[in-house]
Structure 1
Amino acid sequence: MMTTSNQEKLTKKDLRKLFWRSLTMEFSWHYERQMHMGFSYMIAPALKKIYRNNPEKLADALERSLEFFNCTAHISPFIGGVTLAMEEMNAEQDDFDTSSISAVKTALMGPLSGLGDSILLGTLRVLAVGIGTSLAVKGSLLGPILFLLIFNVPAFTIRYFASVKGYELGATYLEKIQKSGLMEKFMLAAAILGVMVIGGMTNELVTVSTGLQLGSGDSATKIQEVLDGILPGLLPLSATGIYYYFLKKKTNVVLLIVATAIFGILCAQFGILKS
């Protein structure tokens, strides 16, 4: 491990800026990389401080921050904090594996989204709506006030502590892991978890099925049932692989969307695919 210099560490002021900027996380969202611009905006000031004396590494870090990102907005500062802790390690070392930053970020997105969506959006928000609505229908001004308080006070508190603790845990434990020589195993575990998350997302979010069948009448063999017997989710996995191939070839995303729409219409018309 080669160390270049004693890098100036981030302060509570920098982490508070991370917290405030995280409020814009969902202001810019699209299907290709989802919340990546919000994530980049959130950590950009801290990156500029970390790489103040190294414009080349700053450019690389900003480019990394624009990779695909999707997580419950209130939890995302935690991932931002861990990312910044790893960027500090990269700034201090000449031989730091920057791919590990992306691997850890990817590994954290799924589990934290599961927690954030179920607790904040699936439970707390529903509870706030129920209490607020029950009072609002009776004409009470407390309805909207309680709704805002019940949801936002815990949500803002979690968001703030996520900003601070993400960086503190990242700076403390990742450095210990590296010094103990376990960093390679940690990165392997993070990469495996990241692949599992992506595999789970593929199964849940990508739906492809065929209406083709061999024969006619009640005795006809449905191709989809045969494929499910070989490997459930084979068509969604294949479709994901095709898109992955074209994205690696830097194919224009808008072109892929238009081609998908046309292909879907034609296949539905001739019964090749079904919903």
Structure 2
Amino acid sequence: MNDNKLTVRERKSMFRRWIFSAGLGYNYESQQAPSVAFSMRKALRKIYPDDDEYIEAMDNHYNYFNATPQMANVILGATLAMEEEDGIKAKDAVQSLKTSLMGPLSGVGDSIFWILIPTIMGSIAGYMALQKNAIGAILWMVMYVAFYWLKMWLCNLGYESGTKLITTLGEKINIFTDAISIMGLMVVGSLIPTVVKVYTPLKFATGKVSLSLQTGVFDKIMPGLLPVGLAILVYWLLGKKSWTPTRIIVLIIVICLVGAATGILGIAK
């Protein structure tokens, strides 16, 4: 049990830091991780007075993270509660929770906050603007002010759920960690064939018979075989000290350029 409890003001400060910095520090290596670390910094310093534990916890939040900012409020609120309740022992559970939830919650968040609400409110505001009515623009601004309070509520929802989760589990935290880890692996594994696209247009021809290497061989062995192979290659390279994520990105770009120039790789039709 961690005795360094956060005050309501300190929790709100952490939530507010995330709300206003979610898009800052975005990069192709760890995506929103710098913003997460910035948001959690002061709260983690209170939770972990020991320097070694504080550094370990901060390093953990520098791992890859990318979620719809509004829904990430729920995730970060829950992770804050977990660390506050169980300390550094919850490190693996925290990372697994973030990994497993950022995909599903982003699917919901993107649909609501980037498609549904802007489409409806944008249509109303646009129609009013055509009618020379300034209320449309005012409604648009009021909506985004209201979003601030909604985001704070989502942060508190995640925090309260996280506290209840840890309190309920008690000594079963290891089982919870294993379950969340498995869920995280399943989510990451399912992303490979849907997000990573690798296709070869090569065909083998003998007389009038033609066989597509992609559909006739690779897809018959296992759909998504090439994306999985590329993911395995990247994972293997990440384990090498001489290979940084930036170098791997450059390598993939080179492979794509060479593959497209030689006709080995192409765009799936």
Q: With structure 2 as the length reference, what TM-score do the two structures score?
A: 0.91
Specify which of 248, 268, 273 is matched with residue 265 of structure 2: 273
Query: C-alpha distance in 1, partners of 2:143/2:207?
Result: 57
- Which ranges of 4 or more aligned residues in structure 1 deviate by more than 4 Å? none
The reply on whether 1:116 has 2:109 as its aligned counterpart is: yes
Q: Secondary structure at the match of 1:210?
A: coil
2:132 paired residue number: 139
Q: Secondary structure at the match of 1:214?
A: strand
- For residues 23-79 of structure 1, the C-alpha deviation after alignment (integer angstroms, 9 at most, x for no partner) is 211112111110000111111111011112x11100101111111001110121221
Structure 2 stretches lacking a partner, 5+ long: none
1:224 paired residue number: 214
Q: Secondary structure at the match of 2:121?
A: helix
1:82 paired residue number: 78
Asked if 2 retains the 8 angstrom alpha-carbon contact of 1:202 and 1:240, the reply is: yes
Alignment of 1:1-275 (within 5 A): 7-22=3-18, 23-52=20-49, 54-91=50-87, 96=89, 98-153=91-146, 155-179=147-171, 182-215=172-205, 219-225=209-215, 226-250=217-241, 251-275=243-267
Most deviating of 116-125 and 31-40: 116-125
Asked if 2 retains the 8 angstrom alpha-carbon contact of 1:18 and 1:77, the reply is: no
Query: C-alpha distance in 2, partners of 1:138/1:131?
Result: 11
AA partner of residue 106 (structure 1): T
Q: CA deviation at 1:216?
A: 6.0
Query: C-alpha distance in 2, partners of 1:192/1:99?
Result: 12
AA partner of residue 21 (structure 1): R
> Is the alpha carbon distance of 1:151 and 1:231 closer, same or farther for their aligned partners in structure 2, counting shifts above 3 Å?
farther
Asked if 2 retains the 8 angstrom alpha-carbon contact of 1:125 and 1:151, the reply is: no
- For residues 126-158 of structure 1, the C-alpha deviation after alignment (integer angstroms, 9 at most, x for no partner) is 2122112222233332232222333552x3233
Q: CA RMSD in A?
A: 1.9
Asked if 2 retains the 8 angstrom alpha-carbon contact of 1:128 and 1:148, the reply is: no
Query: C-alpha distance in 2, partners of 1:165/1:12?
Result: 13
Query: C-alpha distance in 2, partners of 1:238/1:145?
Result: 52
Query: C-alpha distance in 1, partners of 2:188/2:162?
Result: 23
Identical columns (%): 30
> Is the alpha carbon distance of 1:218 and 1:233 closer, same or farther for their aligned partners in structure 2, counting shifts above 3 Å?
farther
Query: C-alpha distance in 2, partners of 1:220/1:257?
Result: 34
AA partner of residue 156 (structure 2): V
Q: Secondary structure at the match of 1:67?
A: coil
Asked if 1 retains the 8 angstrom alpha-carbon contact of 2:200 and 2:213, the reply is: yes
Query: C-alpha distance in 1, partners of 2:257/2:103?
Result: 32
AA partner of residue 117 (structure 2): L
AA partner of residue 257 (structure 1): I
Structure 1 stretches lacking a partner, 5+ long: none
Asked if 1 retains the 8 angstrom alpha-carbon contact of 2:5 and 2:47, the reply is: yes
Q: Secondary structure at the match of 2:181?
A: helix
AA partner of residue 273 (structure 1): L
Q: Secondary structure at the match of 2:64?
A: coil
Query: C-alpha distance in 1, partners of 2:207/2:256?
Result: 26
